[in-house]
Amino acid sequence: MARGDGRLFLRGGIWWMGYSLRGKEYRESTGTTDEPEARKALRQRIKRVHADQIGAQRFVEPKSQRLTVGDLLEGLRKDFELRGKLDVTARGKVARAVTDFGHFRAVSLTAQDVDKYIEQRLESGDRPATVNRITQLVGQAYRLAIQRGELNTMPHIRHLSEAGNARQGFLTTEQIEAVIAQLPEDLRDFTAWCAATGMRKGEAAGLTWSMVHGDELHIPANITKNRRPRVLPLVGQLSEIVSRRQNARPVEVRGTTVMAERIFHRQGQPVRDFRKAWGNACEQAGVRAIFHDLRRSSVRRMVRAGISPQVAKRWSGHTSDSMFQRYSILTTDDMREAFEVAEKFREPAQTKIVAIK
């Protein structure tokens, strides 16, 4: 081959190729003992080198060919952690993405592979929004790798429509109390807290005693989904819950009594997934709901009580009006009550003005 077009050499019967770009020599195995096939592989690699030289496409180093989607997701996880965005929810979704896509070689994953995954999830009963959360993470991982020069292409990742995805579920106070009564004791205060405040499950699970200052709870930005700190007054039911949690703070670990760091815990351990316990409690209480319905119920209760949206948003941790409105669910009963109130309203009779001639 001509100078500048690379070279081939043998190592243990396998043909290897060597080529240079910007003064750096790269060596990699062609994976074959057949010289014509090895020359073909070298020509393909030289084409990529020339494409980089003329600015048509960035060259991807040989080691990037070995990257898996799991490697890309690990890079995304570290990026989230660096930027303070790795909360409990994000950690769980990244882990699911690694389970579902981590085994693919990053350069080998195709749009068809992604579509097949989406079809399988939908056929199993998952909602489009649930599927999107995972495929979006995979897309983010690819884009981050491209920004860092680790890859130069990514597969097309379909985004499913989430129209009509806003859930309509909410629970009455009586239903919430019925479910709580059926839960294990170490989940009752946690559930009552989320129902009263509208707080996200992951955020409530991250609350620690160091955040309690007198009759106020100072929630730092690092455990909130929107990365904004806020302060909640510990009044009424919240004060009672915190008082009970103080009594539940001592836990025995290997024969030694220690003070739990978290306000809500399960035998000293963080509150994690408890879908089975929640499902059993709902079944025994005769209620059909998911835990997140507590958040919607809290928002709806505050709105119906006449609390201003700005104050209600501070309680629940919402930042956008659009998301708050999605949770502020109006039912037929709400509409009926509003009409009945409006129907009873009578405008005062207007004074008739007669012109004096």
Q: Where are the domains of the chain?
A: 7-59, 66-147, 173-339
pLDDT in tens, 14-35: 999 888 888 888 888 888 999 9
Domains 66-147 and 173-339 share a fold: no
Mean per-residue pLDDT over the chain, rounded: 83
pLDDT confidence of residue 69: 95
Residue length, the chain? 357
pLDDT confidence of residue 2: 46
Predicted confidence (pLDDT) at residue 331 exceeds the cutoff of 50: no
Instruction: Give kind and range of the element (H or E) at residue 230.
Output: strand 230-233
pLDDT confidence of residue 78: 94
* Residue whose pair of structure tokens reads 């919607």 in the numeric block: 296
Q: Is 159 helix (H, G, I), strand (E, B) or coil?
A: coil
Identity (one letter) of the amino acid at 120? Answer: Q
Which one has a higher pLDDT value, 281 or 323? 281
Identity (one letter) of the amino acid at 66? Answer: R
Predicted confidence (pLDDT) at residue 143 exceeds the cutoff of 70: yes
Helices vs. strands in the chain: H and E counts, helices first: 14, 10
Q: Which residue in 168, 214, 174, 173 sits closest to 196, CA to CA?
A: 173
Predicted confidence (pLDDT) at residue 7 exceeds the cutoff of 60: yes
How far apart CA 293 and CA 327 sit, in angstroms, is: 9
Predicted confidence (pLDDT) at residue 297 exceeds the cutoff of 80: yes
Looking at the DSSP bridge assignments, the partners of residue 17 are: 8, 28
Report, in this order, helix, strand and coil percent for the chain, each rounded to 5: 50, 15, 35
pTM: 0.53
Give the residue-averaged pLDDT of 329-356: 52
Please give the radius of gyration of the chain, using alpha carbons only, rounded to the nearest integer. 30
Predicted confidence (pLDDT) at residue 126 exceeds the cutoff of 60: yes
Contact 297, 193 (CB under 8 A): no
Contact 244, 107 (CB under 8 A): no
- CATH architecture of the region 66-147: Orthogonal Bundle (1.10)
Identity (one letter) of the amino acid at 277? Answer: A
Q: Which residue in 311, 48, 77, 78 sits closest to 198, CA to CA?
A: 311
* Residue whose pair of structure tokens reads 């009578």 in the numeric block: 346
Quote the strand ranges of 12-72, DSSP E. 14-21, 24-29
Tell me the fold of 173-339.
hpI Integrase; Chain A (1.10.443)
Backbone torsion region of residue 306, taken as left when φ is above 0, otherwise alpha when ψ lies between -120 and 50, otherwise beta:
left
Q: Would you place residue 316 in the very low, low, confident or very high pLDDT band (cuts 50, 70, 90)? A: low
How far apart CA 350 and CA 344 sit, in angstroms, is: 18
How far apart CA 148 and CA 24 sit, in angstroms, is: 19
How far apart CA 171 and CA 298 sit, in angstroms, is: 9
What is the secondary structure of 153-214 as a DSSP string?
Answer: ----------TT-S------HHHHHHHHHHS-HHHHHHHHHHHHH---HHHHHT-BGGGEET
* Residue whose pair of structure tokens reads 């990514």 in the numeric block: 154
Predicted confidence (pLDDT) at residue 356 exceeds the cutoff of 80: no
